[in-house]
Structures are given as C-alpha cells and as structure tokens.
Structure 1
Amino acid sequence: MIEVKRSSDFPSQEKMLKIEEPYVEATIITPKDYIGDVMKLANHKRGNFKDMQYISPERVEIKYAMPLSEIIVDFFNLLKSITSGFASLDYEFLKYRPSDMIKLDILVAGEKVDELSTIIHKEKAYQMGREVTQRLRKLIPRQNFEVSIQAAIGKRVVAKERIAPFRKDVTAGLYGGDITRKRKVLEKQKSGKKKMKRIGTFSYSVSYIWRRD
C-alpha cells in the first residue's frame, strides 16, 4: 500500500489494484430557505446524503458523506456564497473508500509542470483540464514562438490551447516585384520560427494559475 501525499507520488495505472480516498462526514447547518441550493452543491461535490433534521423552525442540519478533497478546495467558500454567509460547516473523518482517481498533468511548451499536476476524480478531469489550459492561455505572455498548453492523463491529451507567436510583417519593405520574392521571405521567417520553437525557452510563474483577474 502506498500513501499518496502529493501528485508526484501517484503511481502509474498498471501498478495499481485500486485507489482509495479519505471521506468525511460533513455537517451543514443552514436556514431552511437554502436547503435546495446546499443539497445541489453537496451532490455536485460527490457527496452522499445521510440525514437531515430541523433543529429549529428556521434552521436545518444536513449530513453528507463527502470526499475530503472536495471539502478542502473551495466547498466552504461556495457554501457561504450560496447561503449569503448564514450556513456553517463542520466535518470529521469517516474512512477511506474506493474511488476512480487519476493524475492530471499540465504541459507548457512540451514540458510537464509538476507544480500544476493534480490528483482528481476521473469524472472531473476533462472540465479541470479545460479550465486550467484556458486560464494559462490568457495569463502567459505571448512569445516569439508558438506555445502549446496541454492537459493530459498519462499519454492522452484531454484539453489543449495554444498561444500564437508575435507576427512581424517581414514583407513591409518589399514593394512590387515578383510574388515569389515575398514567398521566399515568408518561408525564411517560418523556418526561423520553427528553429526558435525548438530551442526557445521562457520564464513563467506557477502563480499564474491562481492569480485572480
């Protein structure tokens, strides 16, 4: 048995018989007017309904068994948002349960960014891959060469974006003449960009993905 504490510890699929993740019992106390929204959020976060009871005419206690990973990311903030700040949350460990978890890798310019790799439920991998690649496309500055951004599960790419290179009008100084001359200049530029793409590097911060616009 291997205890995985970070994405870099996640073993390859062929080495695993099963995967288990920690579950907690989440206790949510909310005004009755928000019951529907709270249950919708909990279900979206892979929660399993356990119990609900009124603790007063206006307040309800709802219990769910939920993956710990869904709780610690953004559940509390979302809960506060949909209940106008009135709901409270408490949770305690239940046990480990079998789960279909996978490792989602992010590649920038063909290089894997370990800091952006994450362990996520298979059902949410595509959505997460799309969100991360789209956000990075908006935040990483353009270069003189094309930059590809990919989200992959193993060797399978599930989402892809590209940052187009700067384009310089190398034919601006050419007036009239044979069209083949312009084509030669453009082909030379294209060849130069291919070479730059092979050897070009650039610096970027992993904080791009967490920064808020």
Structure 2
Amino acid sequence: MNNKHMIIIGLIIIIVILCIGIAYTMFGQQTEYITLNIVENGTTMEIPKDMKVKSINNDSGIVVLENENTIVITFNTINKSIPQIMGFANIKTPIFGNEYFGNVSINDPTVAGCSLKGECNAVYIGNNQTHDNIIVISKNKNIVDHIINSIKWKITEEPKKEVASSVESSPSAYAYKADGTPMYSQKEVDDYMLNKYGMVNYHVGDNGYIDMDEPGYDDAGHKINRSK
C-alpha cells in the first residue's frame, strides 16, 4: 500500500471520528422533558426530567426546582398578600432589574435560591389572566427556550365581586388610585397594581394614596423620562 492510499484511509478515519463526535453532541446529549403541573390552577410546562423540587415555601407560595444547570421558580399571585408578592419581587428584581429576558450574571445564588453562579440565560414571564409568574434560568439557552415555549396557561374564571356589599362593609377606602378612585380591600390594591404595572414595589402612603417605590417611576406611577 503506497503513501497516497494510506493518507486517504487516514483522512476517512478522521472524518468518521468527527461525524461520530458531532452525532453524539447533537443526539447523545438531548434533554429529556416531563410535563409539570406548576400550580393548582392547571397551568403546565415541560421541564428537564432530572429536575427536582428544591423548595416549596407554603408561607410565600414560591416553588423552586433545579438541576445542575437549570432553575425554575414559580409563583401565583391569587390570594397572596403584599409581603408575599414582594417576596417574589425580591427574587426577580436583583436578577433582571427592569428587563425580562437575556443574559444575566448570578453573583449571589442565594437570591435566586439556586446553586447556579456566573453567566446564564434567563427569562421572566407572567400572565395577568392566570396570575402565574415564572422565572427560568439556565446555562443552556435551548433549555430556557424549550421550557418557556412549552407553557400552557390554564385560565379559570374568578368569582365575581359583590361591589355593593364590599363598599357597605368598608365605608372608608383602604387606598386610592392616582386619579382618586377608591379601592376597598388589600386584594383590590394588589390586583390593580399587578395588572397595571406587573411585579413592582409600592406602598400605601399615610394620605391613603398608592406611592410607587419602583425605580423608573414617580410616586403616582408615571414613567420618569431620564432624557430630560
């Protein structure tokens, strides 16, 4: 066998090895997913099969799942108090700031309640109709995309409020919107702020009006124009 034939055979062997390596990378390390019912209202999503429940905080309603390279945090605002909502905001805000997706750096894993640290890809998504809030963080962008794209929101009808009885039982309003419209319960305030602004920090001032504490807004909830 001459040198020419040996070189050709050697090249073929190299190509075969490369093809095996590429096939293993593409197909041998595929992530297996299972469908998870994330909250009691029926919303589902697909997560990697090896993810485990790290914590279920019954006081806050926050659920944390993770494996070695991915973390999923879920929270539903129905019947939740302001401290509970702020508890979720205290996880979301340090990670995302005012953004909702992109590359993030996890400098303090304890904030997210996970073992991940360093550069990750992350997405926060919420649904005002189901009241679900979901954070997905992973070293693998494909996993983030798969989880987010697999979400199937379960929208259920909320009980109708009896406005008349609410007003009669609360002659003094608990809080007022910026336009002076009164609201008569903590849940009405929570729902109003969540539907209008999403997960933001705020408080009810001594004068009974809602004051915004979120960066980028003034007390009345107007966005601050920093270009001026």
Normalising by structure 1, we get a TM-score of 0.22
More strand by share: 1
Normalising by structure 2, we get a TM-score of 0.21
Bigger RCO (CA 8 Å, 6+ sep): 1
More helix by share: 1
